[in-house]
Structure 1
């Protein structure tokens, strides 16, 4: 009988209820150190003489991970459903049970068929508990039961990962392609990638955006005796060779923490965006405002900027400039000029001061026809650049050209007055 035929024969008795989870291992499969695995809640899932391993861990919603409890995730979903804010992380219209937190462990960091996934980790809300399930590849060549068990349990609308759009899910798709005739199809789904959200929010304070860094510096998660992720491939290959599960159990714990951090990171990001985090810094508020601006949520962004402009921080001055742009687009040039001039008077942030001076000069020239005032702000900007300050998008030649044009306009007006 072909492998595909054997798979079809076994489909009828491969449901994922408790009875199937408690199946005895196939007599043909020898699982070394089975007792040690069972202590960690690991059981075999077999398919016609081949098998993978499955580990399940259940957490009460009261469980605290870093600064957050798992119940905060439910609160985040509830608040999103009450909000009209349109945002890529919004779960409006979703139930907490429909999100699927996902992370993998692989034999390498590169893409392509040469890289295998040996742990598929997932967690979701089931009957008021967070149920975390890990599908484990006991040895290369057991990918059919691995993906069969994983895809049979997938019941979600939205995937939540950390850099999963670029790495985890493309890896799943690559490996799935090799065995797609023998396992269920990959489902269609939405995708929340928290890496991009974390980068937007905290790149100003974190040099690296690895999840382990974010969870420590932002979420307050302290890993104890954790195995570094880069050692995972070596530990896996050692397990394949020696069958000693100790190292693999540590990798499973590492993956478990990763997934718990995804849950609390989603809650924290949601509280930041929805402005319910009482400990949110001014810089974080500004980053939320800038994100909303890029999404076209101008009214919400404007409210955030207005709430933090009365301060001498870099974020506050940046907010003044952002408000200048918003009012300028709304053709409220008086308000726009007012905010640009306020920012232009903050010499401690000279890069922002250069930008504010140039924008003030534009309005003074084109709207107010106050060419001398425009020249004055051009001079301030040029002087700052001569002092060694710079702005990435503004050059001294550009400012000088604007200044010269205003001089010509003044000269033209003076000549006209003489003739009159």
Structure 2
């Protein structure tokens, strides 16, 4: 058998190579021993990867070859991000580095490496939608302590909080990492957005170090869905890198849960993008990018080194941070002074307060909501909530007028009739009235 000819090793049932068939080339490159650095990697696999041009990191990658079509087939009705990219940036154009596209993007050095950092400074008078950034500073976190059930919020100041949002390589799994961590915080008479970015995965320890140093100076965190996603993800990355992290130790206000409690009844969707349009009056520019496309854009950046689409991700993350500031302002305004709020939102607030056991506040808001311009179904719900609140506190007689009002304006719900019949049978005995309300219920 000649050197490099392995046809004789094939099982008989597959036959042998004929003399006209070129031998299978499985020879190992002569330079393999000198290039082999990691003995833990399978030698054959590493040799194949090297022949395919694989390199470690993203800094020495060549631009990707021209692509003739989008990521999805022509028969697919899904949004084709690759096609959109090819329209904005012709395939034969020169890749643009992020440093050129984002003035101010710098490399920050730490004891464990470096990562890219971009700072932007806003005056407190800057308006994001209908609200100025400074509007939040008129409130203190004290009011939110009872709603998040964390007494550590009392006595704090929003100037000492950090607003946090991540962009990740996926939605779940041990291999998911945050390639961008955006933070925003007040500093004197300005508001600063700071974005830590991984030029490749090797920058992660430096990013985590810089983030931890910032959190050490802050009293709390504000996020949007951070309790379920951003904070556990970052805490896991600290663990994977064998680094201590304090991210789960700080008081944390996750805006998603109050938003659902307060605005879902009136506005429906409580995704941040939806709240920007329906509540905050924020309009993003064409530079924005849909969230589902971001992981793919980062993978494309690692493959090509072209930063043009990644610059849009920086914009997306920056707007998220600013929107969290003004959303917090709206939340605090509703908690602090609900008298001027929409009646549906006041009803939602009273219902939330009742669930938390804040009976006195709940009674006040539910009465206020019932006096407002509510749709009939929500008017009934407000009266029911108020009636049950009074009933639980042993004030059934005060709930009777509420049940009577519901009974007089409903055509298909006998719940109020039943409550009235039970009241007159057991608590203020009057069998004739009990029978009367029972008969009315039977006629519905």
TM interval, short-chain normalised: 0.7 to 0.9
| Aligned equivalent of 1:159 | 221
Residue aligning to 1:179:
241
Deviation at 1:198, TM superposition (A): 0.7
Correspondences of 1:325-364 after superposition (within 5 Å): 325-347=388-410, 350=412, 353-364=413-424
Q: Which residue of 1 aligns with 2:282?
A: 221
- Pairwise CA distance, 1:327: 2.5
Which residue of structure 2 aligns with residue 5 of structure 1?
Answer: none
Q: CA deviation at 1:310?
A: 3.5
1:114 match: 175
Bigger relative contact order (CA 8 A; separation at least 6): 2
**Against the structure 1 CA distance between its residues 257 and 38, is the aligned structure 2 distance closer, same or farther, given a 3 Å change threshold?**
closer
Alignment check: 8 A CA contact 2:123 2:190 kept: yes
Question: Superposed, which structure 2 residues align to 1:197-212 within 5 Å?
Answer: 197-212=258-273
Preserved CA contact (<8 Å) 1:54 1:133: yes
**Does the 8 Å CA contact 1:37/1:43 hold for their aligned counterparts?**
no
2:146 is equivalent to residue 86 of structure 1:
yes
Counterparts of 2:138 and 2:169, CA distance in 1:
36
User: Is 1:191 equivalent to 2:256 in the alignment?
Assistant: no
Identify if the C-alpha distance between structure 1 residues 179 and 259 changes in structure 2 by more than 3 Å, giving closer, same or farther.
same
Provide the rounded CA distance (Å) in 2 between the counterparts of 1:185 and 1:299: 37
Which residue of 121, 126, 130 maps to 1:63? Answer: 126
Indicate yes or no: 2:80 matched with 1:33.
no
Contact 2:139–2:332 (Cα < 8 Å) also in 1: yes
Alpha carbons of structure 1 residues 383 and 192: separation in structure 2 relative to 1, 3 Å: farther
2:368 to 281, 302, 307: 307
Moved more, 200-209 or 132-141: 200-209
Q: Which moved more, 1:312-321 or 1:222-231?
A: 312-321
Unaligned runs of 5+ in 2: 1-58, 62-95
- Shift in alpha-carbon separation, 1:234–1:376, aligned structure 2, 3 A: same
Distance 2:99 2:105 in 1: 9
Distance change >3 Å, CA 237–CA 208, structure 1 → 2: same
CA distance in 1, matches of 2:266, 2:319: 23
Deviations 1:241-275 (A, max 9, x none): 11111111110110011111111101101111222
Query: What is the total number of aligned residue pairs between the two structures?
Result: 346
| Alignment pair present for 1:376 and 2:418 | no
Give the distance between the partners of 2:214 and 2:105, measured in 1 at CA: 16
Work out whether residues 265 and 348 of structure 2, in 8 Å CA contact, stay in contact via their aligned partners in 1.
no
TM-score (norm 2): 0.72
Q: TM-score, normalised by structure 1?
A: 0.76
Which of the numbers 261, 284, 295 marks the counterpart of 1:233?
Answer: 295
Q: 1:44 to 1:293 in 2, by over 3 A?
A: same
Q: List, as ranges, runs of 4+ consecutive aligned residues in structure 1 with deviation greater than 6 Å.
A: 29-32
Q: What SS does the corresponding residue of 1:53 show, helix, strand or coil? A: strand
